């Protein structure tokens, strides 16, 4: 601690470090932790019942850590409210590519290994960190709007992906920048790995990680998270609808952009799909339980809440609200109460009844 050896103890997943002397109030201090081990994935119902975290692949590893797997491969305060900037250095067998967050600082070969250094200069929640390693075809460039882009695709998937990941990533990044505010990171991109066992994608900061890409809807969803989830992160996990509801609503906005379906029609399709006695209506969207945190209701009813809000306050106020939200809490944390206050301030309306009905009450709301 602060360059001096310190005593520590470990109790399960918690490490307690004791300094040699008192620390001055309101002064920064540095703790350096030397550690080692073999990372293992986590398994449980919390993420669609699949493994997550540090997952081995035939040619390396696929790393996607939401919500609590970052601490399986580096010491951390593994909660989205505790953000930090990162330098991630990876040693991998020569011939493999190591991809992480932010921008590539350097890569060099020495002996039979490749040493890669990535730097994420903007604050990042622990679960958004990655160190994915494997054989990748890498394409770099800039979006039409000038944002640097880095896309790595497993060559095994070259002929099976249904969409052009690079093209859609570039287009969607620029489009969301117009709707949601300036892109919040140095680089956009994607990591696409042949990992069917994972069965999910994750909004890894600056480069969403996909275990395969089957639609552009998946890409636009994960890219929307760069604003809603990555830059503006939840203060606590019960607010996760602020991530998933917004990214799901972004899918509806993308369909409007493409001219294939309005957000209103998407809302009605979801509303009509679930009868009043469905479990879909039994989750409190803004206060889910641990095993329903990533339930479809949090995603879809979160998006439905935003559509109801849009229709209540009108398009002008609604499309002022979205970039105001990302600007106000850029690279920080926020909760549901923060969003309600901002929506009321921008709209000039009292919206408590709307949010109580759609976020905090079980049962199918009447239209």
Q: How far apart are CA 291 and CA 47, in angstroms?
A: 9
Give the model confidence (pLDDT) of 45-62 as tens digits. 565 667 899 999 999 999
183: pLDDT strictly greater than 90: yes
Q: How far apart are CA 126 and CA 315, in angstroms?
A: 35
Q: For the structural domain made of 232-359, what CATH number should be given?
A: 1.10.390.10
Question: Which pLDDT score is estimated for 45?
Answer: 57
Where does the pLDDT of residue 283 fall: very low under 50, low under 70, confident under 90, or very high at 90 and above? very high
Give the model confidence (pLDDT) of 119-166 as tens digits. 999 999 999 999 999 999 999 999 999 999 999 999 999 877 778 999
By residue count, the chain amounts to 367
195: pLDDT strictly greater than 90: no
- Cα torsion 306, 311, 312, 315 to 10°: value is 90
Give the model confidence (pLDDT) of 214-236 as tens digits. 789 999 999 999 999 999 999 99
Cβ atoms of 204 and 128 closer than 8 Å = yes
Other beta carbons within 10 Å of 333: 19
Q: How far apart are CA 341 and CA 185, in angstroms?
A: 26
Name the burial class of residue 160, with classes exposed (0-12), middle (13-18) and buried (19+) by CB atoms within 10 angstroms of its CB.
exposed
Cβ atoms of 335 and 239 closer than 8 Å = yes
Percentage of residues of the chain with pLDDT beyond 90:
87
Instruction: Please list the residue range(s) of the chain that carry CATH number 1.10.390.10.
Output: 232-359
Q: How far apart are CA 59 and CA 281, in angstroms?
A: 42
Where does the pLDDT of residue 317 fall: very low under 50, low under 70, confident under 90, or very high at 90 and above? very high
Cβ atoms of 340 and 306 closer than 8 Å = no
Percentage of residues of the chain with pLDDT beyond 70:
98
**What is the residue-averaged pLDDT of the chain?**
95
- Cα torsion 40, 43, 49, 52 to 10°: value is -30
The second-level CATH assignment, the architecture, of 36-222 is 2-Layer Sandwich (3.30)
183-199: average pLDDT: 91
Question: Which pLDDT score is estimated for 160?
Answer: 75
Question: Which pLDDT score is estimated for 212?
Answer: 80
Question: Which pLDDT score is estimated for 80?
Answer: 96
Give the model confidence (pLDDT) of 3-31 as tens digits. 889 999 999 889 999 998 888 899 999 99
Crossing angle (nearest 10°) for helices 241-258 and 165-180 = 110
Query: What pTM was computed for the model?
Result: 0.95
Q: Where would I find the beta strands (DSSP E) of the chain?
A: 7-11, 14-18, 42-43, 51-57, 60-64, 84-93, 97-99, 103-110, 113-124, 132-134, 137-142, 148-153, 188-192, 201-202, 209-210, 232-234, 332-334
Question: Which pLDDT score is estimated for 207?
Answer: 98
Pick from 32-41, 111-120, 190-199, 254-263: least confident: 190-199
């Amino acid at each position: 601690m602060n360059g001096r050896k310190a005593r520590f103890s470990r109790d399960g997943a918690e490490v307690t470090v004791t300094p040699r002397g008192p620390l001055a109030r309101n002064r920064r201090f540095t703790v350096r932790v030397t550690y080692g081990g073999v990372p293992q994935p986590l398994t449980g119902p919390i993420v669609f019942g699949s493994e997550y975290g540090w997952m081995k692949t035939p040619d390396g590893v696929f790393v996607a850590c939401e919500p609590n797997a970052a601490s399986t491969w580096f010491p951390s305060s593994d909660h989205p409210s505790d953000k930090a900037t990162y330098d991630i250095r990876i040693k991998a067998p020569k011939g493999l590519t190591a991809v992480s967050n932010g921008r590539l600082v350097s890569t060099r070969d020495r002996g039979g290994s490749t040493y890669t250094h990535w730097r994420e200069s903007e604050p990042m929640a622990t679960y958004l960190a990655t160190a994915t390693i494997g054989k990748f075809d890498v394409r770099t460039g800039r979006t039409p709007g000038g944002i640097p882009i880095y896309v790595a695709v497993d060559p095994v998937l070259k002929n099976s992906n249904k969409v052009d990941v690079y093209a859609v990533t570039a287009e969607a990044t620029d489009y969301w920048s117009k709707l949601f505010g300036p892109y919040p990171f140095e680089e956009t991109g994607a990591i696409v790995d042949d990992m069917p066992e994972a069965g999910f994608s994750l909004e890894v900061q600056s480069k969403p990680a996909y275990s395969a890409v089957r639609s552009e809807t998946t890409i636009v969803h994960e890219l929307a998270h760069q604003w809603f989830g990555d830059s503006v992160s939840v203060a606590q996990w019960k607010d996760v609808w602020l991530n998933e509801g917004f990214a799901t609503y972004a899918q509806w906005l993308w369909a409007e952009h493409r001219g294939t379906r309005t957000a209103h029609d998407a809302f009605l399709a979801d509303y009509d799909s679930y009868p009043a006695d469905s479990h879909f209506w039994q989750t409190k969207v803004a206060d889910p339980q641990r095993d329903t945190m990533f339930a479809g209701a949090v995603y879809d009813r979160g998006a439905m809440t935003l559509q109801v809000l849009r229709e209540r306050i009108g398009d002008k106020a609604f499309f002022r609200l979205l970039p105001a939200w990302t600007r106000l809490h850029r690279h920080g944390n926020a909760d549901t109460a923060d969003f309600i206050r901002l929506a009321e301030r921008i709209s000039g309306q009292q919206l408590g009844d709307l949010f109580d009905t759609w976020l905090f009450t079980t049962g199918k709301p009447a239209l």
